[in-house]
Amino acid sequence: MQHKREGRKGLEGKGGLSLLGDVPLVAETPEELLNDETTPIARFFVRNNGLLPELVTDADGWTLTVDGEVERPLNLSLAELKSRFPQKTFRMVLECGGNGRSFFEPKAEGNPWTHGGVGCAEWTGVSLGDVLREAGLKESALFTGHFGADPDKHGSHEQQAMSRGVPIAKAMEGHTLLVWAMNGETLPFIHGGPLRLVVPGWPGSLSQKWLKRIWIRDREHDGPGMTGLSYRLPVRPLAPGADGKDVENRIIESMPVRSIVTAPADGSHYPAGTRIIAIRGAAWAGDDEVARVEVTVDGGATWTEATMTPPRNRYDWTRWQVSLALPEDGFYEIFARATDSKGRAQPFRAANWNPNGYGCNVMHRVAVTVGPEA
């Protein structure tokens, strides 16, 4: 699937990204541009739910409020966050909940992501859990609610463009960070600077940009993006095309296992006589680990297992590589399949259809030709 690749306001320095939407601004990264162990800022996908907020001139003066079911409500400046709590840096995957949506049949609602709604950056900040311990959680604390400075897509601040939340256990996990730096640089405005939340392994919509408030609640949060069919999956399988409105559903938590081929690029051509090609990619599995990655060029009749590089820390992606033998010149389709630590593998064909197109982890396919070009 091809998308227009052109610069728009907010996408300066990201000329290689594929624009999916102007209002709100959404752009994905072609898989071949995700070939770095750490995704460069210039190649990191963009997903907004509303319009961009006002530019910030005093980053250290940016304030975060923590209130609700806490003993000691907090109002902390960014400078105070930096000075009062231990700083941490982790390389972690951030992935849109709708990544892979375009492969559902029939078409699902939402931006037509292929495989590029993902990136793996180094995030620097403090653990949200450390801040919540400072605030003192009450026994009634069950869920978080996240609030940002961005207006909705109509420019209104009367309602949040997106306000999602997580169970307290996920909020207290040491890798859930309040972030002010990305790849060793000041967190770019387009990626939520000066302060954002990063909730690894779960849908990226939980990682609130331009973060202003964490509301601790005694019930599941019910902000925009938490009700109806938003970021929810049916508990029982739906027939493709069903509206899903009168069925039991659940909030999406851990994202499914997925792998991508980052080299060669789709459509690559090799000289006649080439019999070995080097394939490289990345794999990740939400809260779980990647157990193995395999590739096939014969539709799954045979599989070749890839060599994996251990992740740097939890929630880092697993880089993999393999030398694949080809029997003769011709056209080949390479499929990559990751399997997670619980034995769940990617399917050839999109499964678990749902109206908003979440959680599609169909295998990535790359076509290559060896010999004369057609």
CB contact set of 304 (below 8 Å; sequence gap of 6+): 294, 295, 296, 322, 324, 325
User: Quick check: 101 pLDDT over 90?
Assistant: yes
Nearest to 123 by CA among 2, 33, 38, 53: 38
Bridge-based pairing state of the strands 364-370 and 330-340: antiparallel
User: Quick check: 188 pLDDT over 80?
Assistant: yes
Intervals of CATH 2.60.40.650 along the chain: 258-370
Q: In this predicted structure, what is the pLDDT of residue 41?
A: 98
Residue spans of alpha helices (H) in the chain: 78-84, 128-135, 168-172
Query: What mean pLDDT comes out for the span 176-184?
Result: 98
Q: In this predicted structure, what is the pLDDT of residue 7?
A: 36
Q: In this predicted structure, what is the pLDDT of residue 111?
A: 96
DSSP secondary structure string for all residues of 192-223:
TTT-EEE-TTS-GGGS-SSEEEEEEESS---S
Q: Tally the C-alpha atoms within 13 A of residue 87's C-alpha that lie toward its C-beta.
A: 15
pLDDT interval class at 11 (50, 70, 90): confident
User: Quick check: 2 pLDDT over 50?
Assistant: no
- DSSP structure class, residue 329: S
Listed range (14-18, 78-82, 183-187) with the worst mean pLDDT: 14-18
- Token look-up 């997106």 returns 162
Q: In this predicted structure, what is the pLDDT of residue 8?
A: 54
pLDDT interval class at 4 (50, 70, 90): very low
DSSP secondary structure string for all residues of 58-125:
-GGG-EEEEEESBSS-EEEEHHHHHHHS--EEEEEEEE-TTTTGGGSSSPPSS----S-SEEEEEEEE
Looking at the chain, the whole-number percentage of residues with pLDDT higher than 90 is: 93
Q: In this predicted structure, what is the pLDDT of residue 9?
A: 61
User: Quick check: 135 pLDDT over 90?
Assistant: yes
Intervals of CATH 3.90.420.10 along the chain: 18-251
Residue type, 4: K
Q: In this predicted structure, what is the pLDDT of residue 374?
A: 59
Sign of CA dihedral 348, 352, 357, 361: negative
Q: In this predicted structure, what is the pLDDT of residue 373?
A: 73
Q: What is the pLDDT of residues 227-280, one digit of tens each?
A: 999 999 999 999 999 998 889 999 999 999 999 999 999 999 999 999 999 999
pLDDT interval class at 177 (50, 70, 90): very high
CATH 2.60.40.1120 fits 258-370, yes or no: no
User: Quick check: 3 pLDDT over 60?
Assistant: no
Query: What mean pLDDT comes out for the span 199-219?
Result: 98
User: Quick check: 326 pLDDT over 80?
Assistant: yes
User: Quick check: 6 pLDDT over 50?
Assistant: no
User: Quick check: 198 pLDDT over 80?
Assistant: yes
Listed range (5-9, 55-59, 296-300) with the worst mean pLDDT: 5-9
CB 196 within 8 Å of CB 211: yes
pTM (predicted TM-score): 0.95
Cα–Cα dist 128/76, whole Å: 13
Q: In this predicted structure, what is the pLDDT of residue 372?
A: 85
Query: What mean pLDDT comes out for the span 4-29?
Result: 80
Q: In this predicted structure, what is the pLDDT of residue 87?
A: 98
The average confidence (pLDDT) of the chain is: 95
Angle at 302 between CA 297 and CA 307, to 5 degrees: 80
Nearest to 294 by CA among 284, 315, 308, 310: 308
Distance from the first to the final alpha carbon of the chain: 21
> What dotted CATH number matches 18-251?
3.90.420.10
Cα–Cα dist 212/13, whole Å: 27
